[in-house]
Chains A and B, each alone.
Chain A
């Protein structure tokens, strides 16, 4: 669409009048989006229709569940029927992609709730088919709290969230995960790569479908693989001293009605978790909320008995109690009211690897890997979780934030606090006696430099915890200001990991803050913070997983911000590749991300320049090349298609590159992808022309590889519409193009 005349400097710039242009671009959306959607549906249909592999629906469905949050699930489904019915308004579709990623990131930082169950509870749950005990039973349900969760922020305004969730972790596993942290940590990136590889191998056929499904506007959608990567990355970080997201906010202590000495057991469990061998490491603050649950066995025990016990518990422990009524027998698929247990969304790579293997063996045995529950059980668990979160966890966190804000943060914000921190910083001049306070002898004395953490009741640790709480309560304004307040302190104390973490989260919460969205946010300062975080993580602490996490968050959040931030996002993605933080598949994924970043940059209003189509196209081509080298021709082919779609707008003729070497390379790539794709599909005839193939093959390949028909149908609509709508002088432009060419050639 970029006509030759457009690129010349002699031509006056196109009209800038924003009102008309905006209208024009809006009216352009529906047609473009219709074309893409119908194409996609068609494509998906032929694909599902012609590939009779039985594993495909299962995997695709599973992917659809994982790749979308419930409220946006209909927006990007992989089945053709849904895709057709979910067309909706085009603008919704446009924001879907970035909102989806934002929601994913927000949900990644949800409060952790530890689960500490008595032996008899675990036994009861194990009978129901959950080997991991009580925590495994409730874990999938905690990830999405049913209904809206209302949270009040620091200034007293409340906001309802639909996608709130918590993570349940087993208190037993918490200590172990921390003990086994150091060896497992280096390999966590390698494990992630392994998960990706597995996903690719298992879903080689099915992944082709969702990956090629484009966003309705033609912007490249986030591929499921990329989301998997992001989710893996965000759930890979174990609890660490320098950030409190993994530290339990509350702990669920549960007993069952089978217990003979219920109150004693509860006391014992409490004692175990606060002083005994289940005690959390020293760097975790021990004053977290305890929540007592009585699991009632509906089939064996008397409810009157349990109610009496429950009343007793309420008298002893106050309001944070719940009576959970479950049936103790195992549910199978054939039962009348069986419901499938949702799969966990946030599995760490390690769990993924072991979990995937488990499911496979189960499939071999002929049983389904996913457990089932009775409807009544599901309802009971859901209402338990809702009550736990809405009535106990959220108020507790709000309360803590308010108290800390009042007692610690405001003191720091005040003039005397500033003076204190300043005098402390320069205390080295006069009094060396100050350094005798702490065992570390460091700058502030609060930082224990031998064990590398602040003690949990030092003001620095409390402020960090308060900021994390505010972040988890989605009060990003307070979080950002708190992180901002403490980040330099950590630098003074040479607590580099804290320093990096505070910078990272400060930038992230600034980017997440929707109020700053409209205002001109200082992108340079955000960039600077990411730079510092990355340097501290990587160079000072050689902590690659965290560095990768902060850079990936930078990429995704800057990309979702749009405008000039997308270029910065692309730059960070290139940095990730440059640092070598990711391995082969990750590299290719980041190439796709760079392409997506550039592709999402839209032209300035009314003008035809400002987009980054060529850059996006180049990165897509490079990614296609890499996918081909990695032996994934179907992914390569979808990248290539993507690239052609991007180039279609800027290239003069259909798929003809002006530069000879580029043309040769792209032609070779196209051919190689075609050959490999056919080979992978079982056609061993690279030199066969599509017309000679059997009917199935013809259908496949003509959809998949014959780019011409695609591109023409794509380019056709926007081109004519664009000339009519976007252009301020349609009459002048259209007749001008052909003569222009003639003039140059003649």
Chain B
């Protein structure tokens, strides 16, 4: 499972980006997306396109955590969203690893790497990563989002931070990484 987490300002500008992989079930925490390295812009395209759905879901869903809102089937990318009262949006793109069977067509290349990804799937099949729409995953993402929200509020309250500014704080980044490690 690979994750791409973005915080968007109310004007859709990304103020924080991080890509990481799962740490559950022996994962090494490195993101391996299905796109080739030259096509990493796809993550941003998918996130951006899911804003259509987020905008719709925010009026129909009472909570701050909107759960799984959108899917991009060609790459099996799932988007979960979280709204903050200030209008910033947390978007998490999660992508289950490619199955070994279909790995032959993969653009990832090295077979050893693919094998590792396959074993990860099997090892983590009982935990969060296996099914992106399962209740367990929803719950894990919710925990993650709440933790991120807490850190975000603390960062946003800093006197040196102005709304809409990019978040460059290393402390915040490490906190997000820790949350990712803990829950996803």
Interfacial residues, chain A to chain B (CB-CB below 8 A): 2, 4-10, 13, 571, 574-575, 577-578, 607-615, 617-618, 621-622, 650, 652, 657-662, 664-665, 741, 743-746
Contact = CB atoms under 8 A, between A and B. Distances in A.
B108 to A, nearest CB: 19
Given A7-B12, A9-B83, A744-B164, A659 B59 contact: no
B13 interface: yes
A92 to B, nearest CB: 28
Interface in B102-158: none
A9 B12 CA distance: 13
Given A607-B59, A744-B164, A618 B49 contact: yes
B86 A10 contact: yes
A248 B83 CA distance: 61
B59 A746 contact: no
Contact of B10 (A660, A662, A744): A744
A738 to B, nearest CB: 12
A658 B12 contact: yes
Interface string B43-57: 111111111100110
B52 A612 contact: yes
A226 to B, nearest CB: 19
Given A4-B10, A659-B14, A659-B47, 16 more contacts: A8-B87, A13-B59, A574-B74, A578-B74, A607-B59, A609-B55, A609-B58, A612-B52, A614-B49, A650-B51, A659-B48, A661-B40, A661-B43, A662-B45, A665-B41, A741-B11
22 contacts: A7-B12, A7-B89, A8-B10, A9-B58, A9-B83, A9-B85, A607-B59, A609-B55, A609-B58, A611-B52, A612-B52, A614-B52, A615-B49, A618-B46, A658-B8, A658-B11, A658-B48, A662-B41, A744-B9, A744-B10, A744-B164, A745-B164
B11 A652 contact: yes
A618 B43 CA distance: 11
A469 B93 CA distance: 49
B66 to A, nearest CB: 10
B89 to A, nearest CB: 8
Chain B CB within 10 Å, residue with most, of A10, A607, A614 = A614
A608 B52 CA distance: 10
B170 interface: no
B181 to A, nearest CB: 25
A615 B56 CA distance: 13
Nearest to A12: B59
Interface in B23-74: 40-41, 43-52, 55-56, 58-59, 73-74
A6 B52 CA distance: 12
Nearest to A611: B52
Nearest to B11: A4
B49 A744 contact: no
A488 to B, nearest CB: 29
A-B pairs with lowest CB-CB distance, top 6? A8-B87, A744-B164, A659-B44, A661-B41, A609-B55, A4-B11
Contacts of B74: 574, 577-578
A665 B51 CA distance: 19
Nearest to B61: A9
Contacts of B162: 744-746
Contacts of A665: 41, 45
B114 to A, nearest CB: 20
Interface in B76-99: 83, 85-87, 89
Contacts of A650: 51
A7 B55 contact: yes
B10 A664 contact: no
Contacts of A7: 10, 12, 51, 55, 87, 89
Given A574-B73, A578-B74, A609 B14 contact: no
Contacts of B48: 614, 618, 657-659, 662
B11 A9 contact: no
Nearest to B59: A13
B56 A10 contact: no
A607 B14 CA distance: 25
Contacts of B86: 8, 10
A13, A607, A659, A745: residue with the most chain B Cβ atoms closer than 10 Å: A659
A18 B91 CA distance: 32
A693 B46 CA distance: 38
Contacts of B89: 7
A621 B45 contact: yes
A662 B12 CA distance: 13
A6 B55 CA distance: 9
Contacts of A664: 41
A2 B11 CA distance: 10
A739 to B, nearest CB: 13
A658 B85 contact: no
Given A7-B87, A9-B83, A609 B56 contact: yes
Nearest to A662: B44
Contacts of B164: 744-745
Contacts of A621: 45
A395 to B, nearest CB: 48
Contacts of A658: 8, 11-14, 48
A618 B45 contact: yes
B18 to A, nearest CB: 14
A744 B85 contact: no
Nearest to B57: A609
B58 to A, nearest CB: 5
A551 B43 CA distance: 28
Nearest to B6: A659
Contact of B85 (A10, A610, A622): A10
A661 B42 CA distance: 9
Given A571-B73, A661-B40, A5 B10 contact: yes
A9 B87 contact: yes
B17 to A, nearest CB: 9
Nearest to A6: B55
Contacts of B13: 658
A27 to B, nearest CB: 24
B73 A10 contact: no
A574 B72 CA distance: 9
B44 A661 contact: yes
Nearest to A615: B49
B3 to A, nearest CB: 17
A744 B11 CA distance: 9
Nearest to A746: B162
With a 10 A CB-CB cut-off, give which of A607, A611, A615, A650 has the most chain B CB atoms.
Answer: A615
A39 B86 CA distance: 41
A559 to B, nearest CB: 17
Contacts of B163: 743-744
Contacts of B41: 661-662, 664-665
B105 to A, nearest CB: 10
A661 to B, nearest CB: 4
A24 B159 CA distance: 45
B12 A610 contact: no
Contacts of B51: 7, 614, 650
B172 to A, nearest CB: 19
B95 to A, nearest CB: 15
A718 B44 CA distance: 27
